[in-house]
Amino acid sequence: MSRAIYPGSFDPVTLGHLDIIKRSAEMFDELTVGVLNNTAKTPLFSLDERVNMLKNVVSDIPNVKVVGFGGLLVDYARKNDIKVIVRGLRAVTDFEYELQIAQSNRKVAPDIDTVFLTTNIQYSYLSSSIVKEYASFGVDVKDFVPEPIQDILKERFADIRV
């Protein structure tokens, strides 16, 4: 069985993330979406909230599971017999950073490969940071995030603006 993991902070999940998830799910028997608990960042949503949002938007893809994790990605992959890491690329600047991470991972975990998928051109500008910025000012983000996430963002920023 081929297994892959698509890691990220997903704060929040965007249509670009969802595109990579759907395409990866077609390539592998099982895809784990790994929601990173990155202590170096202060996310808008808690780890549990991000995991639940993702579970909601991928519930119709049978070979996808969503988990939260902390620590090294390669350690999680090894413990779960995952041999491939999937990473999305939007631009050349993403490639430089992602290549460095992939090469480092390969050095410490030569049994795990990284596969890069270029984003769909319609999402090449999109990032969670951009989504949060627009949503914080009340901009409609329907072209950026799955429908259930739109309402969650509206509620979150309504609470912050009060």
Residue showing tokens 């119709």: 60
For the chain, the C-alpha Rg in angstroms (whole number) is: 16
Report CA-CA distances (Å) from 49 to 7, 19, 74, 137, 156: 16, 20, 24, 21, 11
Catalytic positions, please?
17, 41, 90, 128
Contact 63, 31 (CB under 8 A): yes
Nearest-angstrom CA–CA distance, 105 and 132: 30
Other CB atoms within a 10 A radius of the CB of residue 96 amount to 9
| Residue 102 phi, psi dihedral angles, 5° rounding | -60, -40
